[in-house]
Structure 1
Amino acid sequence: MIQRSIKRLSMRALIVDDELGAPTAEGRAARALVQELQGRSIEVIEANSAEDGTAVITADTAIHAVLLDWTLGDDKNHARAKALLQFVRSRNDKIPIFLMAERGEASAIPVEIMEMVDEYIWTLEDTAAFVGGRVAAAIRRYLEIMLPPLAAALMKFSQEYEYSWHTPGHTGGTAFLKSPVGRIFFDYFGENMLRSDLSISVGSLGSLLDHTGPIGEHEKYAARVFGADRTYSVTNGTSMSNRVIFMAAVARDQIALCDRNCHKSIEHSLVMTGAIPTYLVPLRNRYGIIGPIPPNRLDKNAIKAAIKSNPLVTSGIATRAVHSIVTNSTYDGLCYNARRVEELLDPSVDRIHFDEAWYAYARFNPLYRERHAMHGDPKDHKGPTIFATHSTHKLLAALSQASFLHIRDGRSPIPHSRFNESYMLHASTSPLYPIIVSNDITASMMDGPGGPTLTTESIQEAVSFRQTIGRVNREFARKKQWFFKTWNPDTVRVGSRKSAKKVRFEDAPPEVLAADPNCWVLHPKETWHGFGDLEDGYCMLDPIKVSIVTPGVLDKGGLDKKGIPANLVTAYLHYRGVEVEKTTDFTILVLFSIGITKGKWGTLLNALLDFKRDYDNNTSLAVVLPHLTSDYPDVYGGMGLRDLADQMFAQLRESRQTHWLAEAFSTLPTPVLTPNAAFQYLVRDEIEHVPLDKLADRILATSVVPYPPGIPMLMPGESTGPEDGPYLGYLRALAAWDKRFPGFGHDTHGVENRDGVYYVQCLKSGTA
């Protein structure tokens, strides 16, 4: 018989009692209870103090019951036990808690304690067998109620060992066990995952396409948790979620208001639907960071003017937009006041779509109140229908490709039956169940006190990192030396409005920074954010998205005399096993997700300090980036780290790369065709690959998307503009950089680099 093993859910209990090892009646009773629980296959974790118990609860979430001695040590006021109870309940409102006390103490237990406790153990009267049975039963109930609908159904099904005569062909992993290489795969991923990879024909789990059974219950559960009227679970990422919404909401030749700071999936949506985009252009600052669309560009008169001036809106086309999409938060962490955006767009459109791929956690922390699509109670919603799309795998805990699509019905709602036709156009008929279940688990993790607890920890760690960088920067500044800084306010106001005082960011109370959104708002004309006279309260920086700024950019704009390009720092970090999210000319983005730890960001800080040391010492590249000198000895041989930084910075100044970036993304190209119309030329192969030096005033067949940040600079059907324009100016700067610094080349979607020459797909001359 082929040997298999499946790991079932274990049961674990924490006992907090300072007399566990004492030769007393209470100590003997406690030890007898430990033995009884172990005899019932319950693993027991012992703690001798409230402090030890707190540490266990913090570090170990696989605790299924807590047994707490009401009288810890000589604490006659029970302050330690009370504090531990409050701590447990602040993190978990479902875990069973047993309070161990003597019967004579019952009348003195406060009501607030009684409300936090599930059962009582009279240590010198109840038998160990009786208490053990009660604890085991409570743990089983807890495990049943803790799992959300789909996760519970799938785990139950996968452990019933039914014979299957349906796909997938590996049948719970058995096929892999028949092959040596398959056995390696089986052992690596484990039987639980493979037994959970099931066919959509398993009726007891419901249908992802019909939204029935446990899958349907999972989506209803997620809708409640995320504040939606309807939620759809998606297994092909938020790219699919965005496309589903567009195809359900916008028809050919209808106008869609599109944030120019959009993901490529919005371009795909425009291609698929044949919609006419009218773009809403966001701001850019001196670092090249994409800011918000200013309120005056969302005003009804501005929207009317933008539609009227759109060359694609020809006679016979209805001039009222049917859909709008806004990216919230931006890649760099700028969050709109969603209520204000809705207010501004309300007169112009009946449906507002917030692409919140990087922002699924916002509802679960008061810091982001009203700054996300599903804000407030859905019962109170009036006005346009609201959509939100969440990549639950990005900064929550779901598996890759997991996404949620939320709808709050309002004006011009799309009925489920119609919406689901679009959903089925994009959804797989063979979804991976673990992806859907990871969405279910993520929703459960955010439900109740779990959401605020997890998000607050992320915010606190991000604040600690930012303040530490600020203090280190200040120490070096006192020695007239350089160091990195983080992009956030230089000063914040602390205290009540009447007595508020300005303090340096790094000196502000961390608890204030973690809780007061006013510390993160982009107040008008503040130099640090660089977006000018922005409406106060309109936009806020998300603390968990940390941009590390390298030297080289002046506060007034433009480049300094010396500087350090950020991609050199990123290469240094990569060699040391530190991977970042995004790198621009002078910023490095790191994300403080719910999985962050102090050790993780401490390692990053140490690596930045090491870079400073090696830069100041001009340490040989053969030591700090040896792959460069071995791969390109003629370019980098004999060079030091500071030498390379100086050459790179000089190249940025000479090519004006940062200038062209800001210009290219702050203006709109001239549209000649809709993205859909341009795509038809591509499919018919009525295109040609045009080199950069002949690209002026050509019509693109595909988009040009520089990475980072992965935002389209030119869309299909748009003109590249004149030879001396910003779009070709930016591409020339990128091409010159790639040629001069091999190993540091740019990734620009839509551009083919042939031996150092950029080629772009354009419509054949005279075809449009």
Structure 2
Amino acid sequence: MHPVSRVLVVSNDAAWQGEVVAGLQRAAGLLDNPYGLCVEGVAGSREAEQRVLADGEVQIVLIDKGLRENGEPQPAVALANHINQLRPELSLYILLQDDDEKLLMEELASHAIDGYFYRDEQDVSGWFRILSAEMGEKAATPFYDRLKQYVAMAKDSWHTPGHSGGDSLKGSPWVGDFYEFVGEEMLRADLSVSVPMLDSLLHPTGVIAEAQRLAAKAFGARKTYFATNGTSTSNKVIFQTLLAPGDKLLLDRNCHKSVHHGVILSGALPVYLDSSVNRHYGIFGPVPKQVIFDAIAANSDARVLILTSCTYDGLRYDLAPIVAAAHAAGIKVIVDEAWYAHARFHHAFRPTALEAGADYVTQSTHKVLSAFSQASMIHVNDPAFDEHLFRENFNMHTSTSPQYNLIASLDVARKQAVTEGYRLLSRALRLAQELRGKINSTGAFRALELDDLLPPEVSGDGVQLDPTKITVDISQSGYSSDELQQALFARFNIQVEKSTFNTITLLLTLGATRSKVSRLFDALLRLAKELRPPRHYHRLPEIPGFSRLACLPRDAFYEAGERLPLLDDDGLPNAALYGRVCCDQIVPYPPGIPVLVPGQVIAAPIIAYLVRLLKTQKSIEMHGLLEETEYCLRVLRPEELAALPSSAWFN
């Protein structure tokens, strides 16, 4: 398959436009054209915008500065800015009459424009070479290309890793099947930091640095860093960069557990903000906007605010006013966009957190784009960014033996996002809409919309839904979520993303296809025809509100503490735990929200909640509880708490 890169020439001057289009097309036939450049003319702004939205193969737009349209004083400027808003990954060139026009364009639209040509020169062969080079830069994968080049050199390995390019596995009667399963190229590309031409993730100056520069441009960041330890580590790196022991931060209690681990590692003082809750479906939503505004006003000494947008279920904040309020108070904003890395590449998902003004954004590139698992990115737009301090913290958490295949996959995922992300996301959106209709037609399953998912306390907060995350109400099917997942897996070879007690969640990505949609619909339709009677679901007990801190989370975590059982001798919630201070993070999964964090005072409703979960929700994992002969919690001894300097802050 060969790529197609469509070039639009936008002009009202039909004769001139015809000459330019014909000349560029001749050049495409005569010159080297590896990216499949083909040229078309469009007559005005409206037609250009329609083509840009409808055709995912449009890569470059040439706009005649002499464009004439009624009621628009500078139609070329307006069109350039609008196309940049719709599809920022496109390359935009302006065709000028003279340098005075260039000065005007630089003043009004320099952020959107990649280059200029002079209209009357009509050096179409030269223009074509520049446009081809532009596509070459966009399509470049500097690290992946260098990795392939090195593997093709077939160097003998006298360095790590121990499998020596797969030679230790190849031909083995015991483990040779692993060589065949993984593949020779993957093993040959699993290399050591002893290979200088592949650059260093810990101190990049070559092809990794170039790949990160291209990623920053693609995602709209000042700086971008590749991470091979997932977004979990990325969050911790940013926390340790921005927060010193005792620094205050505001955080969504619904944040990923890595954020709460980051609180422990940094020694920060957290102010927890309770999330909104859809109790009918057991789904946690954003923190109400007013709660965030009140927290900002009440904590003027806070250094950082961190939010998750979008959530696991696809709910995303109206971030711009929140970021503006935080910045007005001198607070940096971190947004965990683990589930939203694709948003930059289709207007249906934007604005992104960076576009809304966030200072730091972490993304799990592997979750929704085409990178390998654990491959993530950190994007920085903080004008006061301390790169040296960041690098020290980054290197503290990053392996000195990073997996080069992960880095290559980030390079490739960025290339795909900028060259065909719009087309593939448009397909995913169409398939999502189609799948929602098919699910609803079964009669036993229902695809939930924003109004169904939105907790009432955030109904007026401008929260939006990522339509590629489909939450399905299964309550009329007669199946429990565990039974349904097992039936889909065992009978129909379908694995879903997650579930609650009465929902399952489906994730559509760049890899969504109509065939997959058809197979899923067929499976749900067959299950619906079994006509099981609707069942009564035992809802998850409601998570208790946050109690209070008695000391810094870091201080509590690093004490030895003592272990007390969750239940007393009569099998009831152990009252001896009430008022004690927890040392660990206790996280029922799902939903994955900490019920207790280190340093938190244990209240009776919290113990009652944990006990009820253990008795009624057998499929839930309980992270952080000690499981010996019985379930136990690690709590501070009274003398340990009294000796902690930070405990005096909370009295």
TM-score interval for Structure 1 and Structure 2 normalised by the shorter chain: 0.7 to 0.9
Where in structure 2 are the equivalents of 1:489-508 lying within 5 Å?
A: 489=450
Q: Report if the CA contact (8 A) 1:374-1:408 is conserved.
A: yes
Where in structure 2 are the equivalents of 1:539-554 lying within 5 Å?
A: 539-551=463-475
The code of the aligned residue for 1:393 comes to H
Over 3 Å counting, the alpha-carbon distance change for 1:417 and 1:140 in structure 2 is closer
The code of the aligned residue for 1:454 comes to L
Residue 440 of structure 2 aligns to a residue in which SS?
helix
How many angstroms apart in 1 are the aligned matches of 2:551 and 2:236?
20
Residue 283 of structure 2 aligns to a residue in which SS?
coil
How many angstroms apart in 2 are the aligned matches of 1:141 and 1:244?
34
Where in structure 2 are the equivalents of 1:657-676 lying within 5 Å?
A: 657-658=539-540, 660-661=541-542, 663-664=543-544, 667-676=545-554
- Tell me the equivalent position of 2:502: 586
Over 3 Å counting, the alpha-carbon distance change for 1:163 and 1:760 in structure 2 is same
Over 3 Å counting, the alpha-carbon distance change for 1:687 and 1:206 in structure 2 is same
Where in structure 2 are the equivalents of 1:542-621 lying within 5 Å?
A: 542-551=466-475, 565-576=480-491, 577-614=493-530, 616=532
> Alpha-carbon deviation of 1:145?
7.7
- Tell me the equivalent position of 2:431: 461
How many angstroms apart in 2 are the aligned matches of 1:568 and 1:349?
50
- Tell me the equivalent position of 1:37: none
* Unmatched 5+ stretches in structure 1: 1-10, 15-62, 71-84, 95-114, 116-138, 308-318, 474-482, 490-525, 553-561, 617-641, 739-743
How many angstroms apart in 2 are the aligned matches of 1:341 and 1:334?
16
> Alpha-carbon deviation of 1:414?
2.4
Identify the match of residue 190 of structure 1 among 172, 183, 186. Answer: 183
Cα RMSD (Å): 3.3
> Alpha-carbon deviation of 1:765?
5.6
- Tell me the equivalent position of 1:25: none
Identify the match of residue 57 of structure 2 among 84, 91, 105. Answer: 91
Identify the match of residue 597 of structure 2 among 715, 728, 740. Answer: 715
Moved over 6 A (4+): 11-14, 63-68, 85-89, 139-145
> Alpha-carbon deviation of 1:467?
1.8
How many angstroms apart in 2 are the aligned matches of 1:144 and 1:297?
45
Q: Report if the CA contact (8 A) 2:421-2:510 is conserved.
A: no
Residue 713 of structure 1 aligns to a residue in which SS?
coil
- Tell me the equivalent position of 1:7: none
How many angstroms apart in 2 are the aligned matches of 1:67 and 1:439?
25
> Alpha-carbon deviation of 1:93?
4.2
Deviations 1:413-470 (A, max 9, x none): 222112100100001110010000000000000114x121121111111111112223
Where in structure 2 are the equivalents of 1:4-153 lying within 5 Å?
A: 90-91=56-57, 93=59, 146-153=139-146
Deviations 1:325-347 (A, max 9, x none): 10010111001122122123223
How many angstroms apart in 2 are the aligned matches of 1:441 and 1:258?
33
Structure 1 residue 451 and structure 2 residue 421: aligned?
yes
- Tell me the equivalent position of 1:680: 558
How many angstroms apart in 2 are the aligned matches of 1:596 and 1:564?
26
How many angstroms apart in 2 are the aligned matches of 1:190 and 1:180?
16
Identify the match of residue 308 of structure 2 among 327, 336, 342. Answer: 327
Q: Report if the CA contact (8 A) 1:249-1:414 is conserved.
A: no
- Tell me the equivalent position of 1:534: 459
How many angstroms apart in 1 are the aligned matches of 2:193 and 2:470?
41
Identify the match of residue 359 of structure 1 among 298, 316, 340. Answer: 340
Structure 1 residue 373 and structure 2 residue 353: aligned?
yes
Q: Report if the CA contact (8 A) 1:150-1:440 is conserved.
A: yes
Q: Report if the CA contact (8 A) 1:357-1:390 is conserved.
A: yes
Structure 1 residue 403 and structure 2 residue 376: aligned?
yes
How many angstroms apart in 1 are the aligned matches of 2:627 and 2:430?
43
Over 3 Å counting, the alpha-carbon distance change for 1:92 and 1:442 in structure 2 is farther
> Alpha-carbon deviation of 1:214?
0.2
Over 3 Å counting, the alpha-carbon distance change for 1:434 and 1:541 in structure 2 is same
Over 3 Å counting, the alpha-carbon distance change for 1:219 and 1:452 in structure 2 is same
> Alpha-carbon deviation of 1:86?
10
The structure whose Rg is larger is 1
How many angstroms apart in 1 are the aligned matches of 2:531 and 2:192?
56
The code of the aligned residue for 1:486 comes to A
> Alpha-carbon deviation of 1:578?
2.2
- Tell me the equivalent position of 1:486: 447
Between 202-211 and 220-229, the greater mean CA deviation after superposition: 202-211
- Tell me the equivalent position of 1:494: none
How many angstroms apart in 2 are the aligned matches of 1:367 and 1:86?
14
Q: Report if the CA contact (8 A) 1:688-1:764 is conserved.
A: no
Deviations 1:599-619 (A, max 9, x none): 223332333333333352xxx
Identify the match of residue 759 of structure 1 among 632, 637, 641. Answer: 632
Residue 197 of structure 1 aligns to a residue in which SS?
coil
Q: Report if the CA contact (8 A) 1:487-1:548 is conserved.
A: yes
Residue 326 of structure 1 aligns to a residue in which SS?
strand
Aligned residues: 525
- Tell me the equivalent position of 1:232: 225
Over 3 Å counting, the alpha-carbon distance change for 1:328 and 1:12 in structure 2 is closer
Deviations 1:267-290 (A, max 9, x none): 111111110001122211232211
Identify the match of residue 399 of structure 2 among 409, 424, 428. Answer: 428
Between 173-182 and 327-336, the greater mean CA deviation after superposition: 173-182
Identify the match of residue 566 of structure 2 among 664, 687, 691. Answer: 691
How many angstroms apart in 2 are the aligned matches of 1:548 and 1:444?
33
How many angstroms apart in 2 are the aligned matches of 1:335 and 1:88?
26
Deviations 1:177-213 (A, max 9, x none): 3633343222221221111111112111211111210
Structure 1 residue 252 and structure 2 residue 245: aligned?
yes
Q: Report if the CA contact (8 A) 1:257-1:279 is conserved.
A: yes
How many angstroms apart in 2 are the aligned matches of 1:141 and 1:407?
25
Q: Report if the CA contact (8 A) 1:236-1:427 is conserved.
A: yes
Structure 1 residue 748 and structure 2 residue 622: aligned?
yes
Residue 447 of structure 1 aligns to a residue in which SS?
helix
Q: Report if the CA contact (8 A) 1:267-1:675 is conserved.
A: no
Residue 335 of structure 2 aligns to a residue in which SS?
strand
Q: TM-score normalised to the size of structure 2?
A: 0.74
Q: TM-score normalised to the size of structure 1?
A: 0.63
How many angstroms apart in 2 are the aligned matches of 1:276 and 1:230?
28
How many angstroms apart in 2 are the aligned matches of 1:575 and 1:701?
41
> Alpha-carbon deviation of 1:151?
0.9
- Tell me the equivalent position of 2:285: 291
How many angstroms apart in 1 are the aligned matches of 2:134 and 2:468?
36
Q: Report if the CA contact (8 A) 2:56-2:422 is conserved.
A: no
Q: Report if the CA contact (8 A) 2:442-2:528 is conserved.
A: no
Identify the match of residue 213 of structure 1 among 198, 206, 210. Answer: 206
* Unmatched 5+ stretches in structure 2: 5-32, 41-50, 61-91, 93-131, 568-572, 642-651
The code of the aligned residue for 2:555 comes to A
Structure 1 residue 242 and structure 2 residue 121: aligned?
no
Residue 180 of structure 1 aligns to a residue in which SS?
coil
Q: Report if the CA contact (8 A) 1:735-1:758 is conserved.
A: no
How many angstroms apart in 2 are the aligned matches of 1:528 and 1:165?
56
Q: Report if the CA contact (8 A) 2:339-2:364 is conserved.
A: yes
Identify the match of residue 392 of structure 1 among 362, 365, 369. Answer: 365
Identify the match of residue 261 of structure 1 among 233, 238, 254. Answer: 254
